[in-house]
């Protein structure tokens, strides 16, 4: 996926192996990126097998396209592990770029008539990359969701950053979910808990939660108060 593309929100149901799933921008993102799931919903007690492509740099735009955040996933140089395993006298055959892991980071830009203007550049707390990100129309907030290849797990299922790229708050799924987390569809790698998310005001986002048996519930989160309403 080339940088600079904005994400479309999927509206039609996704058909896989004869089963219909609620679609969302999250599923659209993963499908576009190359995540392939074999969903075994006919047998709910079985875990679905899935696989994920390597994440790519991706631009997420605010609703009015005035801002976008460019998320760059963790970069491990191709020769990094060869350099680590090399004997001391052979390590000097590698370049400096072969020896440095670049952590996942983000850059927020404001779009101007003369081109994008960098607002901030900061590391994210995700180990690899988030699965999805939202940007407010005024650039005050960036919200990320989930971890690449392990949705629903970890302490960064939802993370809020301020207008300088500094961490304001992070959540695990238990802290967010209106449902017991064992009710969500699971695959080998992930819990598929989110059916939608988006800004409904300058400092409020609405999140849709969906269980495996299609029960849904919406919750509104106040970015000003850093809490659910």
Sequential pLDDT tens for the chain (229 residues) = 333 333 332 322 322 223 333 334 445 445 444 444 433 333 344 566 678 998 999 999 999 999 999 999 998 878 877 888 888 888 888 888 888 878 999 999 999 999 999 999 999 999 999 999 999 999 999 999 999 999 999 999 999 999 999 999 999 999 999 999 999 999 999 999 999 999 999 999 999 999 999 999 999 999 999 999 9
Q: Do 86 and 94 meet the contact criterion of CB atoms below 8 Å apart? A: yes
Main-chain phi, psi angles of 227, to 5 degrees: -160, 160
Residues 6+ apart with CB under 8 A from 14: 20, 21, 22, 23, 27, 31
Burial of 135 (0-12, 13-18, 19+ CB in 10 A): buried
Residue of 152, 111, 117, 102 whose CA lies nearest to 132 = 152
Q: Please write the tens of the pLDDT for every residue from 179-214.
A: 999 999 999 999 999 999 999 999 999 999 999 999
Which SS3 state, helix, strand or coil, does residue 31 take?
helix
Give domain limits for the chain. 14-74+103-228
Architecture of domain 14-74+103-228: Beta Barrel (2.40)
The predicted model scores a pTM of 0.79
Residues 6+ apart with CB under 8 A from 92: none
């Amino acid at each position: 996926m080339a940088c600079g593309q904005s994400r479309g929100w999927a509206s039609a149901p996704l058909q896989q192996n004869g089963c219909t799933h609620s679609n969302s921008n999250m599923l659209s993102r993963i499908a576009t990126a190359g995540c392939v799931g074999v969903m075994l919903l006919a047998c709910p007690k079985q875990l679905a097998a899935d696989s994920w492509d390597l994440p790519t740099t991706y631009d997420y735009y605010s609703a009015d396209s005035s801002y976008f955040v460019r998320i760059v996933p963790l970069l491990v140089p191709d020769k990094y592990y060869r350099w680590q395993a090399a004997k001391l006298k052979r390590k000097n055959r590698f370049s400096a770029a072969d020896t440095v892991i670049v952590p996942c980071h983000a850059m927020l830009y404001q779009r101007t008539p003369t081109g994008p203007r960098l607002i901030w550049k900061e590391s994210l707390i995700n180990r690899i990359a988030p699965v999805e990100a939202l940007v407010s129309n005024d650039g005050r907030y960036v919200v990320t969701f989930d971890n690449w290849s392990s949705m629903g797990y970890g302490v960064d299922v939802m993370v809020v950053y301020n207008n300088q790229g500094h961490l304001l708050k992070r959540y695990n799924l238990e802290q967010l979910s209106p449902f017991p987390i064992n009710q969500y569809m699971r695959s080998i790698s992930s819990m598929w808990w989110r059916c939608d998310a988006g800004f409904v005001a300058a400092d409020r986002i609405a999140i849709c939660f969906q269980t495996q048996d299609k029960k849904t519930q919406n919750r509104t989160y106040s970015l000003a108060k850093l809490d659910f309403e």
